Amino acid sequence: MEVWFGLGSDDDGGWAQVEARRQSAADYIEAVQVDVTANMRAILVDWLVEVADEYKLVADTLYLAVSYLDRYLSAHPLRRNRLQLLGVAAMLIAAKYEEISPPHVEDFCYITDNTYTRQEVVKMESDILKLLEFEMGNPTIKTFLRRFTRSCQEDKKRSSLLLEFMGSYLAELSLLDYGCLRFLPSVVAASVVFVAKLNIDPYTNPWSKKMQKLTGYKVSELKDCISAIHDLQLRKKCSTLTAIRDKYKQHKFKCVSTLLPPVDIPASYLQDLTE
C-alpha cells in the first residue's frame, strides 16, 4: 500500500515533506535511551525480518514496523527486557495497516514464546499509536526504492530481477545499521540503487544524469550513505546477524547475498557529473 492520508502515491513533493517530518531521531541511543544499545536494536531488527518471513508479510510491513519502533525509541526510554515487546507491537500495527489478513495479537505473543501476554502487547500497541498520533503512513526506504528501481529497469529481464533483488537485500541490510538513521529514506534508497548497480556491472559508473534526475540527488549527496551500504555488504558492520543474508541466499532471490561488489569503489564513480 503506497497511499498516505491526504497524499497521493505519485506526489513526490508530499513524500519529501512527510519523510523529513516523520523521521526518527538519529541520536536517540545516546540522547534518550539508557538501557538499549545500537547492537540490541540491530538484533531486534534482524529477528523482525525472520518474523516477517515466518508470517509471509509484505516488505512494507517490515519497513513500517522498524520506522515505528525507531520513532518510539526517539521519544521514550525503554528497558531492554521490553524491546522485543516494542518490536512485535510495532509489527502488529504495521501489519494491520498493510496486510489484507494481518496476524492476530496471539500470533505475536506466540512468536515470542509467550514472553509477553496479550494485554502487554495491546498496551504497547496503544502506547505506540498515541506517540504516532495515529499517523501511520510514512514513506519508507522501500517506498522510494520501489519507485527508483521501477524507473531505471534494465532492458534485459535477468538484470531487472537482479537489480530488484539486490536492491531489496541491501535495503534490508540498511535497517540493521543504527548509523543509517541519519539519512533520509530517499537517500538510503538512492544509495542502495547505486551499490546494487555497482554489483551488477562494476565496470560502468552506477550513476548517470538520468539517475540524478530520477532520484533528485547528486552522487556527492549520497557519498556517505553509499559508503555505509557498501560496508554493510562487505560485512564490515553487523556481520554476526544472518537472517537477511540467509534469506537472500535463496535461489528465488537469485542468491544475491552471495554476490559482493568491488572492495573499493572507484573514485571517479563518486564524483558529481559534469554538465
The C-alpha torsion from 42 through 43 and 48 to 51, rounded to 10°, is 160
Q: How far is CA 231 from CA 139, 208, 220, in A?
A: 25, 23, 17
> What does the radius of gyration of the chain's CA atoms come to, in whole angstroms?
18
**Domains in the chain with CATH codes:** 13-132 (1.10.472.10), 141-270 (1.10.472.10)
Confidence (pLDDT) at 154 = 52
pLDDT of 218? 93
CA separation for the pair 196, 162 (Å, rounded): 8
Give the per-residue pLDDT at 4: 34
Compute mean pLDDT per 10 residues along the chain, 275 residues long, and list them.
34 58 84 94 96 94 95 93 96 93 92 92 94 82 89 59 92 95 94 94 90 90 96 84 91 88 89 76
Q: What is the pLDDT of residue 20?
A: 64
Q: Residue 91: what residue type?
A: M
Cell triple for 75: 521519544
**Crossing angle for the helix pair 12-21 and 185-200, to the nearest 10 degrees:** 110
Cell 538484533: give the residue: 43
CB atoms within 10 A of CB 153: 13
Q: If we measure between CA atoms, which residue out of 239, 250, 235 comes closest to residue 42?
A: 239
pLDDT at 222: 96
Which residue in this structure is represented by grid cell 525507531? 70
Q: Answer for the pair 75, 24: CB distance below 8 angstroms, yes or no.
A: no
| Set of cell numbers at residue 64 | 513500517
Looking at residue 275, what is its pLDDT? 59
pLDDT at 236: 82
The dihedral built from the CA positions of residue 177, 91, 100 and 135, taken in this order, carries a sign that is negative
